[in-house]
Amino acid sequence: MARQTPLYTVHKSLGATFREYGEWELPETFTGISSEYQTVRNQVGLMDLSFRGKIRLAGPERTQFLHGMVTQDIKGIREGFGAYALMTDPKAHILADMKVYNLGDWFLLDVEPELKNKVITTLDKYLLVEATLTDISDQYGLLSLQGPKSETLLRTLLSEPMIPVEEYQHLRSKLAGMEIIVIRTGYTGEVGFELLVPQEQIKEVWDVLMLQDSVTPIGMEVLDILRLEAGIPRYGIDMDENNLPLEVGVEKQAISYTKGCYIGQEVIARMKYRGHANRFLMGLKFQGEKVPQKKDRIRKEDKEIGWITSAVFSPGFKSALGMGYIHREYAQPGNFVSVETAQGPLEGEIVALPFYKSSS
Tell whether 116 is covered by a domain. no
CATH label of the domain that carries residue 185: 3.30.1360.120
Residue 153 sits in the same domain as residue 44: yes
Residue 207 sits in the same domain as residue 306: no
Structural domain count, the chain: 2
Question: Which residue, 288, 285, 281, is CA-closest to 343?
Answer: 288
Q: Which string of b and e fits 269-285 if b means at least 16 CB within 10 Å?
A: eebeeeeebebbbbbbe
Mean pLDDT throughout 12-37? 97
Residue 360 has pLDDT above 70, yes or no: no
Tell whether 356 is covered by a domain. yes
Taking the C-alpha atoms of residue 85 and residue 109, their distance in angstroms, rounded to an integer, is: 10
Look up the domain containing 311 and give its range: 278-360
Residue 298 sits in the same domain as residue 224: no
- Supply the pLDDT for residue 166: 96
Residue 211 sits in the same domain as residue 282: no
Tell whether 103 is covered by a domain. no
Mean pLDDT throughout 217-225? 98
Residue 97 has pLDDT above 90, yes or no: yes
Question: Where a domain ends, among 229, 263, 286?
Answer: 229
Tell whether 192 is covered by a domain. yes
Q: Give backbone dihedrals phi and psi of 119, rounded to 5 degrees, phi first.
A: -65, -45
CATH label of the domain that carries residue 282: 2.40.30.110
Tell whether 58 is covered by a domain. no
Helices 33-42 and 220-229 cross at an angle (nearest 10°) of 50
Question: Where a domain ends, among 229, 263, 293?
Answer: 229
pLDDT category at 54 given cuts 50, 70, 90 is very high
Tell whether 282 is covered by a domain. yes
Mean pLDDT throughout 295-305? 96
Tell whether 73 is covered by a domain. no
